[in-house]
Amino acid sequence: MKNKLIIIFFGFFIFGILGFLTCEIYAKDDSTNKDSVSIQQHIKPTPKAVYLVSKDTGQLSQKNLGQHPEVLVVNTFQNLTKVIKENKNIDIWIDKNATNLVESGWLLKEPQKYNLLVVVGYDNSLYSFREQLNLGIHGPYVDWNTTKVGNGFSVWLLTEATFNSRNAKKKGYSDEVTVENIFKVTDDYPEAISH
């Protein structure tokens, strides 16, 4: 009888250990799944644009920008250059109140000279890129005191550059200034990702 009790006790002991180990394995698998879900939720989307804005408020609302983690917001020229070094083909958005933060001539240098460029806040591309960013555009005289420059955004894409000339696509838009409206336009510039 004593031997039967020992065998029964030993059997319960072994089944108990196996049951405990099985529960541990399932618990670890379950926590691994939770970790993978948690990791997936913390993965940031690939940046599509970097937005240089002065420390004051910009043309794009904080609420609108908060809905688009693919737009990186920076407040200094140094941070802008850092983001571009890390993200070669990123679109460069510059708020109209931050054009003075960009070093003269920098936008026409490698590697960023072929990046899609947006000035946020002006609907006139000539005013945005010649007068505000000084991209060396030659063309007609414009009396800016009598020419209306409205709210909107302007897009520039350098398509060809030689020693003495540049060709670019540029256009101004008087659409409401939102991330969505800018992406509607810039997503249709396939040359921006082919350089």
User: What per-residue confidence (pLDDT) applies to 29?
Assistant: 40
Round to whole Å and give the CA distance between 156 and 142.
19
Which pLDDT value is given to residue 121? 97
Give the residue among 82, 117, 125, 132 at the shortest CA–CA distance from 195.
117
CA–CA separation, 195 and 191 (whole Å) = 7
State residue 131's pLDDT score.
94
Quote the pLDDT of residue 21. 42
Q: What is the DSSP string of 109-153?
A: STTGGGS-EEEET-S-HHIIIIIIS----------TTTS---SSE
Per-residue pLDDT of the chain (195 residues; tens, 9 = 90+): 555 545 554 444 444 544 444 444 334 444 444 443 444 455 778 999 999 999 877 999 999 999 999 999 999 999 999 999 999 889 999 999 999 999 988 998 988 988 999 999 999 999 999 999 999 888 789 999 999 999 999 999 988 777 677 778 889 999 999 999 999 999 877 554 333
- Ordered by start, the domain boundaries in the chain are 1-43, 49-193
Nearest-5° angle of CA 52, CA 56, CA 58? 50
**Structure pTM?**
0.75
Task: Output the pLDDT for position 177.
Answer: 97
